[in-house]
Structure 1
């Protein structure tokens, strides 16, 4: 006895050295003087071994006890089993020991609390199949269940969505002498509500229960009705609670507010919130911190930032803006609505108020910075986190990686992944999918293949999203056969495809990944879209049939793919047949559907039908976008109704939809084609005020004026373009110089050529020839020789500066494709659609008398400076 006591003392002292503690305890078990009280020490050594993950030694412990000490074996093994069941994430080991115990002592029943512990642990660790085995063993051992036992079993069935079996078990409770209680009702009601069967849950408590349920059950029902947008039923239930004397508490109201905000019905939620604040005489509960946070989140999600700010001020005055959750909610709202500076001040305010930001706080800010492509600031934030003792996690690194990928900076994204792994932070499937998608987008096929291989080697759980990225990448690269092969192999066993050479599915489908990488609607839609884009409609139809045969129901995107393809081929009747099938299968027309049809009908000149589609869009509440209007404008211009198209432009501006460069290009071309150059110039003026001084607008207007024989106007516009550094190869300036020379306007041609030289543009030097010839014929030999020498130097390709006799400097400059500075564009865009509307009205009334000269930048223009 004394030796055992000393050894146990040594075991306790060496608890941090589990190997030595195990060695000492084995001496206790092998000692002939070991008493029956040794089983009291079994829990101690079990906890030491379990903390060190020494599962093999725990198995040895059970074997030693069974073979050397049969008199204490049963009690000792139960002690070991209880500790394993109580330890998180060790339910598999516990169940293995349970089976071993039942094999050794089949006729000795286990205590009911131990069954309960095992049942509860199985539920917590998502092992519903253990529950069935435990209950069967319990009945066979003659252990009588209690109501608590049935509650655990019902919880297991509800979490497995086996509601019919749960009701059957509920009916059998009375046969075992057990009667349901309020917890039983709560479990079943929660199970029905999670499955979206709230009405069935209400019927259950009305028809199956012989006792009054508590407020918790009613709150669960109220919340579920609100989530399903059944607010009338929720209101009736609240009244019913009052009738039963169960006055709704703050949890009831929070459930309603939460559900309404999630459904986007923030105004309805705010009315309830206001009543809670104001109508104390009605017996309504006062809002708590949770209520305020729910409303704040709701306002932010709907972009109602003024209401959110007002609420934050109210919370601060009432002392309800004091916890980390409130700050995080406000931070998230600000950043998701683009208020970066405010978010930064909130982060500083948190620190000043003694509330330390946690990893979630920093991840919110990181997400906001990356969404706004502020990658340098995101990197600095990561340094700040570490300096404050908060270390980046998988979400932090993945957010940063996604930010780089969204900017097309794959090299930096790969560096983030490597850093992440080096710092011991394991990437998840989403991390890898993000980088993989970016590699495919940039056509870096070899790197994408290598990454897939690495993901497979590291046993990352590749999923359907991974497969869809691969299919999309192959379609983008024109490898449709391989994409089709991947889809086919996704249905088969992954082990059969691993050995195939160059098999992408082999990389995606490893044995452990097969169940999670089955094709879905997106997979097939991606492949169908790829086939349609290259005109392989018959193959796309076959894939559509295969998709239906696999019980995958197409969505609106799938149908839209076919509608667009048929419209592009001019097969409008086929597109309309697709529409009928689409509506028959319960898929609603989308904006893309209407845009495709408008484009298709417009190519056939069916304007009346297009207006019918526009009316239908309004009836269905589908708001046209710029693509819709551009299609309409193009269609009207094609059939010679350019003035009607201009009224659409007015409608666009009136609705606050900004026309783009394409909108104006279509109209300008149409009016120039019909010879209405005054109208075209006025529209050009509107275009500049809305879109900014874009090279595409200047080059189009210049070319149209030149083609229409408006040489003076074209010359003035070219000068304006040169002043704004907008000249590009899209300008037909060579033709202008040639025409000026032919029209005996040699001085104008020479002036333009000299301006091109002075501005340092690298232009087509064949433009010199007609001017040189003209000067020679006129007797201006010196000027002609000078131009010839400049042309000769340029043709030799010398990049160094050259000085001619008149002191002009010639140097090479790449033509600005976009034209102008971003700042100039912003300044001009800030003129806004208000001025554009006024100008357009002037166009509609008298088409105005604007001059191209007004486009030239003034020398003292402060904004340009």
Structure 2
């Protein structure tokens, strides 16, 4: 039964409407007229039983209610509208919480009606930041060219709400900030028809987005027509737009007009004009405005100087740029890192970095201070370009001349040393700073701690972190992440978990990245149970998981063969308003291919297309491998060719996967053709490619062909891997050619590869199987000469082989060795 607004108002208690105007009640009642079923009645009844509470307690009453969670997802949008409207009558704060609980935690897609109801409730409560974020999401979900229907809905159903003007304005601002300027203009035009005045914030956003077009004149005139008129910021945006459109005369005229009407323009207007002229290459005009600004009593700031210094450097006037830097210091402004970077780039543009430093500095030397400035710029430049040795030499020269390095110099030196892995020198520089009274800041500590963690020196990093805390320097999340990641990579899982628990138990560290690091670590170790417990813990604490969290969990389930659980987690991603990415799908597809379920992999590929997730090279490589494992090499080749049609260039892994299975299928000609095609397409074969080719020829083809490929690569000075050598050695042993095997083994040793007992054991085993016991004995002697001891397996093989050929003296000799070494032979 559909109820009229009047009857519905009569049926509800009068106290409900005590704080809401009658116009508001009518508008809400008109929003959605739908029959009230038992589920709606039970949900609203439960709400009324908790209506005296607000905030988290109210939401928790739904979060932990199994009936609600199962039934609410069955409701239609109009039925959810009814519930949101009824809740808004009782307690608007709880109605807002209920709306966002459905949207963010249950993945409910609300109707436009409900979204605008909540927008008006947020506006009534003056929760402007929340309203802005809410409407940004609304317009992004609706997309471009959606302004007209949204305006119609606002006009027809919400025009009597007290907060309607604010919602209109915020809607226009949301469109503008989402780069949907046309939609924003549609909203603004409709607002003017309704006599609703857009705010200056909305006008500024529009002016900024339209600064490349002629429409800025119309928007600026509209701002002038408002009661408040243009502000200093408005004029700066407008001036920037004129300069970007190369309207030089109009920009100068506009500034003169400001002088004539409103008094002297502000500093921001001059800075904008100077920046525009420098960008166009008119540095002299920018300098004239700088002088005019100073004459009129406006003091330039660091930004003003940096604009001109940058313009002069780009124009090739580095010396004049240095003069402005000196003038900057004379007026009490310290050059900042931006200043140094600008001049350093100027040096680089003129090629001064490659010449003689002494000539460069002699040309630029204008006194003691500029000489220090020049040295500092050169030091920063060398460090930024990775030439740490030159930076350190210049530091020594500066210290010998009595110059004191500033904080910027130390920061770039420390950062450069850390990137080079020279931690000992980094720490020495840290102590040097302390001796000169320069206190390290959080950026310096962050660089060093991150560098230590990357090198595996986690204990030293923790010690330095403790020093940081002692010095009462506020740490940041980056430091905690670096230390935790370092502990995990080092394999110190117990220490990592202790550190993680210490951080997260403070209730101040609600960092999803920390949880992701631990979840990923447990997943990679196969401890999925602990990873899931951490996932549940972060949900309990109200931390939103990211797609990285789900990818790690899915990877853990796939590694442990729990594909059903992996698929369930894939489905639950959407409940958290997240979208599975290419890594998510590729991980599960790889797991299905590993178990031979290629059909499931193709279904996931179709799901990717339906969700507009583009497969990458890895995805197609996974599919190719799955097809090849089932012997469907021709289908794999079709997938490979399809990559080009999709605009993707196969990488080394894609080519290698197909070449490997072509060898298994004994399609040697196609394999080599693919290798040649790989080079033609600019993909350089790597050592894995040639390992596959050499192994494929040894196992499925001809050993002579494998040796020809090997020799050809040696002639080209290609760095072959140890695997290539051991593959050929084993093949020659199996063939019975001990001489070639010995020759290759010596080459492998000479090329600096690390040789283990296992390498010797593999050769000795194969030679003994061919009854080449004497040749095997040569390898035993070589092994002993290299400082490696015999193991139990080698002794057993040699005893068995000598026993077969009747050399009992050697049998007893090896028995003696086994007894001496404490080996047990059955």
Contact kept? 2:656, 2:689, Cα under 8 Å: yes
- Return 690-699 or 719-728, whichever deviates more: 719-728
Provide the TM-score with structure 2 as the length reference.
0.61
Shift in Å, 1:448? 1.3
Does structure 2 conserve the Cα–Cα contact (< 8 Å) formed by 1:299 and 1:307? no
Residues in 2 aligned to 1:673 and 1:242: alpha-carbon distance in whole angstroms: 78
CA contact (8 A) 2:757 2:788 kept: no
The answer to whether the 8 A contact 1:471-1:483 is kept is yes
SS at match of 2:472: coil
Partner secondary structure for residue 771 of structure 2? coil
Q: Hey, what's the Cα distance between the residues in 1 that align with 2:311 and 2:404?
A: 22
Match of 1:844 in 2: none
- Assess if the C-alpha contact under 8 Å between 1:154 and 1:166 holds in 2: no
Distance in 2 (alpha carbons) for counterparts of 1:256 and 1:535: 64
Q: C-alpha separation between the residues in 2 aligned to 1:155 and 1:177?
A: 12
The answer as to 2:588 corresponding to 1:548 is no
Give 1:153's aligned residue: 202
Given that 2:454 and 2:486 are in contact with CA atoms closer than 8 Å, whether structure 1 keeps it comes out as yes
Q: 1:679 aligns with which of 734, 740, 743?
A: 740
Q: Could you tell me which of 436, 447, 469 is aligned with 2:519?
A: 436
Q: Are 1:734 and 2:783 an aligned pair? A: no
Partner of 1:663: 724
- In structure 1, stretches of 5+ residues that fail to align are 1-88, 96-105, 111-115, 191-200, 223-236, 495-513, 767-865
Confirm whether residue 708 of structure 1 aligns to residue 770 of structure 2.
yes
Equivalence for 2:41: none
Determine if contact 2:802/2:811 at 8 Å carries over to the other structure. Answer: yes
Q: Distance in 1 between matches of 2:777 and 2:345?
A: 58
Aligned-partner Cα distance in 2 for 1:381–1:625: 41
- Does residue 172 (structure 1) correspond to residue 212 (structure 2)? The answer is no
Match of residue 363 from structure 1 = 446
The equivalent of 2:433 in structure 1 is 350
Cα deviations across residues 610-653 of structure 1 (Å, max 9, x unaligned)?
44444444444433322122112213334555455446556767
Q: How does 1:755-834 map to 2 (within 5 A)?
A: 755-760=817-822, 762-763=823-824, 765-766=825-826
Say which SS state the counterpart of residue 561 (structure 1) adopts: helix
Q: Mark the CA change 1:167 to 1:485 in structure 2 (over 3 Å): closer, same or farther.
A: farther
Pick from 621, 624, 640: which aligns with 1:563? Answer: 624
In structure 2, relative to structure 1, the CA distance for the partners of 1:94 and 1:542 (3 Å cut) is: closer
Q: Take 2:621 and 2:207, find their aligned partners in 1: how far apart are those partners?
A: 39
Alignment correspondent of 2:660: 599
- Matched with 1:784 is none
Distance 1:453 1:310 in 2: 54
Indicate conservation of the 8 Å contact 1:394/1:427, yes or no.
Answer: no
* Partner SS, residue 739 of structure 1: helix
Unaligned runs of 5+ in 2: 1-125, 133-161, 255-268, 289-306, 317-336
**1:479 Cα offset (Å):** 1.1
The answer (yes or no) to whether the contact 2:738–2:775 under 8 Å persists in 1 is no
Separation in 2, partners of 1:476, 1:313? 54
CA–CA separation in structure 2 for the residues paired with 1:568 and 1:593 = 15
Of stretches 205-214 and 274-283 in structure 1, the one that deviates more from structure 2 is 274-283
Confirm or deny: 8 A CA contact 2:624 2:636 kept in the other structure. Answer: yes
Q: Is the 8 A contact 1:599 1:631 kept in 2?
A: yes
Distance in 1 of aligned mates of 2:347 and 2:701: 50
Inter-CA distance 419–695: structure 2 relative to 1 (3 Å threshold): same
1:211 aligned to which of 251, 254, 261: 251
Equivalent residue runs for 1:617-696 within 5 Å:
617-638=678-699, 641-642=702-703, 645-646=706-707, 649=710, 659-689=720-750, 690-696=752-758
Instruction: Find the aligned partners of 1:136 and 1:739 in 2 and give their Cα distance.
Output: 96
SS of equivalent to 2:251: coil
Tell me the residue number matched to 2:304.
Answer: none
Matched residue SS, 2:542: coil
Q: 1:215 to 1:650 in 2, by over 3 A?
A: farther
Measured in 2, the distance between the counterparts of 1:384 and 1:321 equals 25
What's the secondary structure of 1:478's corresponding residue?
A: coil
- Judged with a 3 Å threshold, the aligned counterparts in structure 2 of structure 1 residues 361 and 282 are, in CA distance, closer, same or farther, namely closer
Structure-1-length-normalised TM-score? 0.58
Q: Which residue of 1 aligns with 2:478?
A: 395
Aligned equivalents of 1:643, 1:554: Cα separation in 2: 40
Which residue pairs with 1:522 in the alignment?
583
Match of 1:585 among 635, 646, 653: 646
The C-alpha deviation readout for 1:328-375, integer Å capped at 9, x for no partner, is 332222222222222222222222222211222222111111111112
1:535–1:674 distance in 2 versus 1, CA, 3 Å: same
**Counterpart of 2:385?**
299
Where does residue 377 of structure 1 map in the other structure?
A: 460
CA distance in 2, matches of 1:218, 1:704: 81
Compared with structure 1, are the counterparts of its residues 452 and 144 closer, same or farther at alpha carbon in structure 2 (3 Å cutoff)? closer
Alignment-derived partner of residue 745 in structure 1: 807
Cα 1:484/1:424, change in 2 over 3 Å: closer
> What's 2:498 paired with?
415
Would the aligned equivalents of 1:661 and 1:697 in 2 still touch at CA under 8 Å?
no
Counting matched residue pairs gives 599
Structure-2 change in CA distance of 1:143 and 1:637 (3 Å): closer
Shift of 1:738: 2.3
Aligned position for 2:282: 241
Residues 1:470 and 2:529 are matched in the alignment: no
- Report whether the alignment pairs 1:718 with 2:780: yes
Measured after TM superposition, the shift of residue 537 of structure 1 is 1.1
SS of match in other structure, 1:692: coil
> Distance between the aligned counterparts of 1:202 and 1:655, measured in 2?
60
CA separation of 1:640 and 1:488: change in aligned 2, threshold 3 A:
closer
In structure 1, distance between residues paired with 2:396 and 2:381: 13
Which of 593, 597, 600 aligns to 1:539? It is 600
CA contact (8 A) 1:688 1:694 kept: no
Matched residue SS, 2:250: coil
Superposition deviation, residue 745 in structure 1: 0.9
Aligned pairs (5 A) from 1:178-217: 187=237, 205-206=245-246, 210-211=250-251
1:458 aligned onto 2:541: yes
Residue of structure 2 in register with 1:324 after alignment: 407
Q: Which residue of 2 aligns with 1:483?
A: 566
Cα contact 2:487–2:493 (8 A) shared by 1: yes
SS in 1 for 2:736: coil
State the shift of 1:478 in Å: 0.8
Which residue of the partner structure matches residue 17 of structure 2? Answer: none
Aligned-partner Cα distance in 2 for 1:256–1:471: 55
Aligned 8 A contact 2:528 2:553 in 1: no
Q: Please give the alpha-carbon distance, in whole angstroms, between the structure 1 residues aligned to 2:219 and 2:682.
A: 52
1:635 & 1:144 partners in 2: Cα distance? Answer: 76
Partners of 2:637 and 2:236 in 1: CA distance: 51
3-state SS, counterpart of residue 211 of structure 1:
helix
Cα distance in 2 for partners of 1:318, 1:137 equals 70
CA distance in 2, matches of 1:634, 1:219: 67
On the 8 A contact 2:678/2:685 being kept in 1, the answer is yes
1:251 paired with 2:310, answer: yes
Shift of 1:550: 0.9
Mapping for residues 74-89 of structure 1, pairs under 5 Å: none
- Provide closer, same or farther for how the CA distance between residues 637 and 546 of structure 1 changes in structure 2, counting only shifts above 3 A: same
The alignment status of 1:447 with 2:564, answered yes or no, reads no
CA–CA distance in structure 1, aligned partners of residues 402 and 127 of structure 2: 44
Cα distance between partner residues in 1 of 2:639 and 2:284: 54
CA RMSD, 1 decimal: 5.4
